[in-house]
Amino acid sequence: MKNYIIIILLAFAKFANAQSYETVFEDNTYQLTGVAVSKSGRVFTNYPRWHEPYRYALVEVGKNNEVKPFPNAEWNTWDVAKGGDKNMHFLGVQAVVIDDKDVMWVVDAGYAKNAEGDNKGQKLVKINLRKNEVEKVYPLYPTLSVKSYANDIRIDTKKQLAYLTNSGEGGIIILDLKSGNVRQVLLGTEVTKADPNYMMQRNGKDLLSNGKPFIVHSDGIALHPDGTQLYFKSLTDNKLYRVPTRALNDKTLSETQLLSQVEFLGTFTTTDGMAFDQKGNLYLGDLEQRKIIRLTPDLKTEIVLSNNEALAWPDSYHITKDGWLYQFVSHR
């Protein structure tokens, strides 16, 4: 069964309510999950290794719907049966982002079926876009287990920290980009795990996976423009949280003390990803109502694009400084 996949380019900065979108790229064959745009306008997307057919992990999008493996074919070639050096190939790329310094970061969630013990090759890969070369690889093992799933990421370039969500178990991963030290906090807590009493709906029906409720824990993540607050939420409920980054990075705090610093902001929407603009507005999707919404700094909800059948499953929000929102949308 083929999925119709597009990345949409949505104007939101100039209009209170956008009424249309522009298709930048579409793929009728391979499942993708992410989008990132460089300062010069280069567009990249990634493909997770979830099921067949599968070809590349990370590509640069060219003209006429053409793609080329990025940064090269070798990084995109890994034999599932034979295995190989997990730090030299993409195994299962979940997300790609480009930070405010125009540096690319690739979240590789690894490949559990080829895991040695708990090591399924989870890592963060830093890519220099000027040279189109891998600059550094940050292994996430052994902090993460085979049950962990590194999902989304935000980079604090001033503090040289990376924040990732663990949607497999529910947790926040903190990576010191200078030392390479990896910590995980709020693991399995009520703020990082999806509310079991919330039943997500799709097309008026309960969303199920193999006959059971579809559940994804901490998924969407967004760093406030001033770097003081990290926002996060599970995919399959409508609760939104934030925590001061000062508390996140205070290693003297116990888990209980850190949990007390987490603020519940309210119930808003189910979304697969989110992002801030420079004015402090937070953009999210609404997977149940097929909308794109915006939360103002005082947490008022504004509809950006509503009731659009094209918005079957929006994800991977990337906001450019010139006022465009890039995201991928899966038609299923």
242-268 pLDDT, tens digit per residue, is 999 999 999 999 999 999 999 999 999
- Cα torsion 82, 86, 89, 93: sign: positive
Distance, CA of 47 to CA of 58 (rounded, Å) = 6
Mean of the per-residue pLDDT values of the chain? 90
Stretch 302-320: mean pLDDT: 82
Residue 139 exposed, middle or buried by CB count within 10 Å (0-12, 13-18, 19+): middle
Stretch 112-131: mean pLDDT: 92
The CATH number, out of the four listed (3.30.420.40, 3.30.43.10, 2.40.10.500, 3.40.720.10), of the domain defined by the range 31-141: 2.40.10.500
Q: Of all helices (H) and strands (E), which one includes residue 248?
A: helix 245-248
Q: What are phi and psi of 22, to 5 degrees?
A: -120, 130
Stretch 174-203: mean pLDDT: 96
Q: What are phi and psi of 31, to 5 degrees?
A: -75, 125
Q: Which two tokens stand for residue 319?
A: 């906001």
Contact predicate 98/38, CB 8 Å: yes
pLDDT band at 328 (very low <50, low <70, confident <90, very high): confident
Percentage helix, strand, coil for the chain under 3-state DSSP, each rounded to 5:
5, 45, 50
pLDDT band at 2 (very low <50, low <70, confident <90, very high): very low
- Length of the chain, in residues: 332
What pLDDT is recorded for position 88?
A: 95
Distance, CA of 167 to CA of 147 (rounded, Å) = 9
**Per-residue pLDDT at 3 exceeds 70:** no
pLDDT tens digits for range 208-234: 998 899 999 999 999 999 999 999 999
Range name among 1-5, 42-46, 179-183, 268-272 with the lowest pLDDT average: 1-5
Percentage of residues in the chain having pLDDT higher than 90: 70
Where are the chain's structural domains?
A: 31-141
Name residue 280's beta-bridge partners. none
Helices then strands, each counted (H, E), the chain: 2, 28
Distance, CA of 32 to CA of 45 (rounded, Å) = 7
Distance, CA of 2 to CA of 240 (rounded, Å) = 33
Distance, CA of 286 to CA of 168 (rounded, Å) = 21
pLDDT tens digits for range 9-36: 444 444 445 556 778 888 888 888 889 9
Q: Which two tokens stand for residue 57?
A: 């992990």
**Per-residue pLDDT at 175 exceeds 50:** yes
What pLDDT is recorded for position 331?
A: 62
Stretch 192-213: mean pLDDT: 92
Place of tokens 């999008």: 61
